[in-house]
Structure 1
Amino acid sequence: MSEIELSHQDRAALGRQVQKFVREELDLDIGNMDAEQLVEFLLKTAGNHCYNLGLQDAQTLVERKAEDISSELSALEKSVTGN
């Protein structure tokens, strides 16, 4: 798997969210570049973990849906009587 990459728009949007959080929660002002560097750091340190959690959730959903399909297929079976 390659590194998690964000579009310029997503990186900038996340940077603004980081700036807002830092300002409101920590009472600090940071610039756009600092915020985007923090986004990059978080992607490198926590991004893979979050990605893996998403994969686990997807796997659970696929397994649940496969069980549903199996049950539906079983319900379609017709009885076979011997002569």
Structure 2
Amino acid sequence: MKPTKLPREQKDQMISMIQHYFEIERSEEIGNLAAENFLDFILKEIGPYLYNQGISDARTLINEKMIHIEDDLYALEKQLK
């Protein structure tokens, strides 16, 4: 899997959110570099788990939709004599 590439404005927003979290939850101030390194770690190490869960959720949803489509197609069949 290739590394996650985020638009700069999204990455900056996430860095700000991480800094806010550390400030509120841990009463610690961390700089931009520390927050960016933490974000890079999360994306690299935890991101694949979240990605795989998203794929699994999408697969489940598509399978459910396919069942409904199959039912709808059977309903469209003409009765034969």
- Whose RCO is larger (CA < 8 A, sep 6+)? 1
Q: Please list every run of 5 or more consecutive structure 1 residues that lacks an aligned counterpart in the other structure.
A: none
Whole-angstrom distance in 1 between the partners of 2:79 and 2:40: 60
Q: What CA distance in whole angstroms lies between the structure 1 residues aligned with 2:11 and 2:41? A: 12
Residue 23 of structure 1 corresponds to 23
Give 1:43-54 correspondences, 5 Å limit.
Answer: 43-54=43-54
Bigger-Rg structure (1/2): 1
Contact 1:4 1:43 in 2 (8 A): yes
- How many equivalent residue pairs? 81
CA RMSD of aligned residues (A): 0.8
1:40, distance to aligned residue in structure 2 (A): 0.3
CA distance in 2, matches of 1:7, 1:17: 16
Is the contact made by 1:4 and 1:48 (CA closer than 8 Å) also made in structure 2? Answer: no
What is the correspondence of 1:9-20 to structure 2 with a 5 Å cutoff?
Answer: 9-20=9-20
Contact in 2 for aligned 1:19/1:31 (Cα 8 Å)? yes
Give the alignment's TM-score, normalised by structure 1: 0.93
- Residue 32 of structure 1 is matched in structure 2 by 32
Instruction: Tell me which stretches of 4 or more aligned residues in structure 1 moved more than 2 Å.
Output: none
After superposition, the C-alpha distances for 1:21-56 in whole angstroms (9 at most, x for unaligned) are 000000000111111111001011101111000000
What is the percent sequence identity of the aligned residues?
Answer: 33
* Structure 2 CA distance for aligned equivalents of residues 5 and 52 of structure 1: 17
